[in-house]
Structure 1
Amino acid sequence: MPIYQFTAQRIDGTVQSLADYRGQVLLIVNVASMCGLTPQYAGLEQLYRRYRDQGFSVLGFPSNQFMQEPGNDESIAQFCERTYQVTFPLFAKVDVNGPNEHPLFTYLKTQQPGLFGSTAIKWNFTKFLVDRNGKPRRRYAPTDMPAQIEDDIVALLRQQPATVN
């Protein structure tokens, strides 16, 4: 089952179907503006700019579950644009764990569990790499820097999506 069944609210309030990303390689990240790992926004933006014309996108999902994203969607968007010149798609703030977690994260965590099979997201900037067919292929720890993921992204960009008859 691919990720295309899910929708999510963009940071500007519009609802977007993840089916709009069909055929792209995606890096889905739970992000936060007041975290020691927040400078990863720069690396994520570099990857996005380098590979977006080849069918790659970063999807950023702010979350305050670790008390590192207290602002509202408007202030988050302004911070990302002003501080890191973020142009990749940002979504409205979501829960990534617990009873109110976004269904996309429930799916990603069951498809790509973490260390020792844990499905919980332990911290901000956990990353999920999704192939051109919408299948989650790998989960990365918060401390895995965007540049460390580049080779995996390039490998998936070389693969063509399956054709649907």
Structure 2
Amino acid sequence: MMPKLLSVLLLLPAVASASCPPLLDHRIPGLTGGTIDMCAYQGKAVVVVNTASECGFTPQFKGLQSLWQNYRDKGLVVVGFPSDDFFQELDKDKAVASFCQVNYGVTFPMASRVHVRGDAAHPLYQALSKASGDAPKWNFYKYVIAADGKTITAFSPLTKPDSPTFIKAVEAALPTP
């Protein structure tokens, strides 16, 4: 009987991945270790944002942290993706993590540094760009993925996390109670 139980347990990860919306079916190393499994966020609204520590838009970390604090109990997850694709990110994950925590008190999930554009883009960013028809053109480009795991709205860095347009999109993306 034990071999059957073992074979069932070995199938569980494949079953979980099969139920995950393709857009969220990605695992990314975390900024401070571990892995961010985007499938864990299925059924929630997800804000995906490429970040950089030395950019004029870097103060948006404050708004993203507020958004995370104000909406996480309603089903929102904010996930930051540090990237040096625009030559404004620190060169070590540890330095990025320290910068975000010390300067902005960031507690939302942050991935290890990734590429967000071009052929080298992380598969999640390739999928987001394809699904939305819009690839990041600069740092702090934001995608709002609705709780259905399919509906995506893209926002330029000029749209701040506290702008009424962005908040309206986040609220529309939240799971229905």
Provide the TM-score with structure 2 as the length reference. Answer: 0.83
Superposition pairs for residues 1-165 of structure 1, below 5 Å? 2-114=22-134, 120-148=135-163, 149-157=166-174, 159=176
Shift of 1:70: 2.6
Cα distance in 2 for partners of 1:36, 1:52 equals 26
Deviates more, 1:147-156 or 1:123-132: 147-156
**SS where residue 174 of structure 2 aligns?**
helix
CA 1:78–1:129 in 2, change beyond 3 Å: closer, same or farther? same
Q: RMSD value over aligned CA atoms?
A: 1.4
Asked whether the 8 Å contact 2:62–2:104 carries over to 1, the reply is yes
Asked whether the 8 Å contact 1:32–1:62 carries over to 2, the reply is yes
Q: Deviations over 1:65-89 (max 9, x none)?
A: 1010033111101110000000100
Aligned to 1:163: none
Deviates more, 1:5-14 or 1:28-37: 5-14
Percent identity among equivalent residues?
Answer: 36
Instruction: Give the unaligned 5+ runs of structure 2.
Output: 1-20
Q: Deviations over 1:23-57 (max 9, x none)?
A: 11010000000000000000000100001111101
Cα distance in 2 for partners of 1:69, 1:40 equals 15
Structure showing greater relative contact order (alpha-carbon pairs closer than 8 Å, 6 or more residues apart)? 1
Asked whether the 8 Å contact 1:65–1:95 carries over to 2, the reply is yes
- Max Rg structure: 2
Aligned residues: 155
Instruction: Give the unaligned 5+ runs of structure 1.
Output: 115-119, 161-165
Cα distance in 1 for partners of 2:151, 2:115 equals 19
Cα distance in 1 for partners of 2:173, 2:143 equals 13
Asked whether the 8 Å contact 2:36–2:109 carries over to 1, the reply is no
Asked whether the 8 Å contact 2:144–2:173 carries over to 1, the reply is no
